[in-house]
Chain A
Amino acid sequence: MEPTLKEEAELKKTPLNEAHRRLGGKMVDFGGWDMPVQYTAGVIEEHMRTRTAAGLFDVSHMGEIWVEGPDAIEFVNYITTNDVTALADGQAHYTAMPNKNGGVVDDLLVYRFGPEKLLLVVNAGTTDKDWEWIRGNAERGMRNAGSGEFVEPNIQLRNASPEFCQIAIQGPKAESILRTLTDIDLAAIKYYWFTTGKVDGVDAIVSRTGYTGEDGFEVYAAPEFAEQLWNKMLEAGGYGEPDGILPAGLAARNTLRLESAMALYGHELSDEISTLEANLGWITKMKKGDFIGRDVLAEQKEQGLERKLVGFEMVDRGIARDGFDVFVGDEKVGYVTSGSPAPYLKKNIGMAYLPPSFANIGQEIKIDVRGKLLTAKVVETPFYRRNK
């Protein structure tokens, strides 16, 4: 037992930091942010409650970047893999910012507010890196596929991360809870669409998005209203009742996204891993025109991938953890990107990079769990899919 001591002095805090502490949040350093890894109920209960009722997550640490101007769509289309021209006003999508080598700078959401106004929502730990990357590319300009010349886009960029709190309310009861606090017609918001309006009298952006595999919403507002919205959602969700809402920490957020086989930057995605390798071909739109890294991705497509992200579940008793080596026979063939017990599925699951020849469903693999080679098998993802 060697618990690490945490340094709290220089960590960044979200506007809900005090609220987390009052709720018994166990605070940890998460990429430089002082965040609750769990509350008093514990990760398993927080996970289960999100699947069966509702969980409330502080995701205010996420970064928000505005891109505005006549070339906003063209520019974001150039620096991301998904097709921004396919978005309508009020629609959002999941996408990635590739680098020139086919790796990924970050994965993110793009919200279209209007033909000249987009909001990028990026990961907390990469916000500064993303901001520099985006600014650098705006200065360098967009490559004209014909002439090869770089044209500076007519856009304004603004890192607005400190101007937002973000609260995710997730689970089958999310809509009915949030409905008690707003006049917004929530039922009319389709998956990956959003609207603006008042929540408990506060100006907010409400999107039907999330990172748990459940139905739910993400609510963006000015940070001074964070506690008000957080407390109102807990109250409206029956916090304290046996089947009421629970605040849920980073640990549950991770197990929920893993059961749903969603990528976590730094694990399934990195500067050295491409979207194609990460099973994100569906957000990699090769036909939309030129974008950063497109050449490398086209080559990967043509020549075939050297590795592929798969889901696995343990057959032997034991838990695979991030970074463990994967073997087939005596040969090391890959590594685990995320591994954990899956509280809802009651299995030990994970994701790993393997050569395509070993990536078929049913493939038996061995995982080196602290010196013991334990059996696992490749299974279909997502591991968990909610009933709609």
Chain B
Amino acid sequence: MANIPEDLRYTKDHEWVSVTGDTAAIGITDYAQSSLGDVVYIDLPRVGDTFGTHEAFGSVESVKAVSEIFTPVAGEVVEVNSALNDTPEKVNNDPYGEAWFVKIKMSNPGEADAMLSAEEYEEYLSANS
């Protein structure tokens, strides 16, 4: 069964969000990395880029497939994890830790509260996989 930390928020697109103040770190879930297989390439936005809710902000590619990654929350990119360019395998090895993709300063900090809880995401996964 996929690992789903209690303290994060989730989307049905298999992204996670970790909120600190008005900043949200975004990554993809353990289930997502496992479905993709070996991740070899990540395309990330630039600091200063702004995105609305559910906009494609980058992509993650495995040997077999490419998936777009969407912003669960609207806001401005304040930090990009450029270390992933050279070590994309971190997405497989540590999806909730070292493999955060971007940090976004939320334009509507309440937005994350509407996302799935760990329990809800787990229910969603068991109903849809």
A residues near B (Cβ < 8 Å) are: 1-3, 5, 26, 37-38, 42-44, 251, 255, 317-319, 321, 340-341, 343, 348, 370
Q: Decide: B15 and A370 in contact? CB cutoff 8 A.
A: no
Please name all residues of chain A whose beta carbon is closer than 8 Å to the beta carbon of B35 when the two chains form the complex: 1, 3
CB-nearest residue of chain B to A1: B14
- B38 engages A1 (CB within 8 Å): no
Which B37-74 residues sit within 8 Å CB-CB of chain A?
A: 37-38, 40-41, 43, 59, 61-64, 66-69
State whether A317 touches B13 (Cβ < 8 A).
no
Contact B41 A319 (CB under 8 A): yes
Report whether A43 and B67 are in contact in the complex, using a CB–CB cutoff of 8 Å. no
Tier of interface size on chain B: 20 to 34
From A2, A43, A317, A343, give the contact of B41 (CB < 8 A). Answer: A317
Q: Is the CB of B37 within 8 A of A38?
A: yes
Contact with A along B73-103 (1 / 0, CB 8 A): 0000000000001000000100000000000
Known: A37-B64, A251-B63. A318 touches B41 (CB 8 A): yes
Q: How distant is the Cα of A44 from the Cα of B38 in the complex, in angstroms?
A: 7
Name the residue on A nearest B33 (C-beta). A1
Q: How far is the CA of A44 from the CA of B68 in the complex (A)?
A: 22
Contact of A341 among B28, B41, B69, B128 (CB under 8 A): B41
**Contact A319–B66 (Cβ < 8 Å):** yes
Measured in the bound complex, the distance between the Cα atoms of B32 and A319 in whole Å is 20
A2 to B36 Cα, complex, angstroms = 10
Contacts A251-B63, A370-B59; A42 near B37 (Cβ below 8 A): yes
Q: How far is the CB of B12 from chain A (nearest CB, A)?
A: 9
Residues of B within 8 A of A (CB): 13-15, 28, 32, 35, 37-38, 40-41, 43, 59, 61-64, 66-69, 85, 92, 128-129
Contact B38 A2 (CB under 8 A): no
**Inter-chain pairs besides A319-B41, A341-B63, 12 sampled, C-beta below 8 Å:** A1-B13, A1-B14, A1-B28, A1-B68, A3-B35, A38-B37, A43-B62, A318-B41, A318-B43, A319-B40, A341-B40, A370-B59
Most chain-A Cβ atoms within 10 A of its Cβ — which of B13, B32, B37, B128? B37
Could you tell me the distance in whole angstroms from the C-beta of B96 to the nearest C-beta in chain A? Answer: 15
A43 touches B13 (CB 8 A): no
CB-CB under 8 A from A321, the residues of chain B are 66
Q: How far is the CB of A278 from chain B (nearest CB, A)?
A: 23
Least Cβ–Cβ distance between B126 and chain A, in angstroms: 13
**B37: contacting residue among A1, A5, A251, A370, CB under 8 A:** A251
User: What distance in Å separates the Cβ of A198 from its nearest Cβ neighbour in chain B?
Assistant: 37
Q: How far is the CA of A44 from the CA of B39 in the complex (A)?
A: 10
A340 to B62, CA, bound (A): 9
Interchain CB contact under 8 A, A43 and B37: yes
Cα-based distance from A343 to B64 in the complex (angstroms): 11
Residues in A whose Cβ lies below 8 Å from that of B61: 319, 341
Contacts of B92 in A (CB 8 A): 42
B129 touches A3 (CB 8 A): yes
Contacts of A3 in B (CB 8 A): 14, 32, 35, 129
- Residues from chain A with Cβ under 8 Å of B64 in the complex: 37, 43, 251, 340
Contacts of B85 in A (CB 8 A): 317
Bound-state Cα–Cα, A68 to B30, Å: 54
- 10 chain-A/chain-B pairs, Cβ below 8 angstroms: A1-B67, A3-B14, A5-B128, A5-B129, A43-B64, A317-B85, A319-B66, A340-B64, A341-B61, A370-B66
Nearest neighbor of B70 in chain A, beta-carbon distance? A1
The 8 tightest CB contacts between A and B, nearest first, are A1-B14, A3-B35, A44-B38, A341-B40, A43-B63, A1-B13, A1-B32, A42-B38
A38 — nearest CB in chain B belongs to which residue? Answer: B37
A2 near B67: Cβ-Cβ < 8 Å = yes
CA distance in complex: A372, B14 (Å): 25
Are A2 and B66 touching (Cβ within 8 A)? no
Residue in A closest to B62 when the chains form the complex, CB atoms: A43
| B28 surroundings in chain A (CB, below 8 A) | 1
The winner among A26, A341, A348 for most chain B CB atoms within 10 A is A341
Cα–Cα distance between A319 and B61 once the two chains are bound (Å): 8
CB neighbours (8 Å) of B59 from chain A are 370
A27–B92 Cα gap in the complex (Å)? 19
Residues from chain B with Cβ under 8 Å of A319 in the complex: 40-41, 61, 66
Q: Give every chain A residue within 8 A of B63 (Cβ-Cβ).
A: 43-44, 251, 255, 340-341, 343
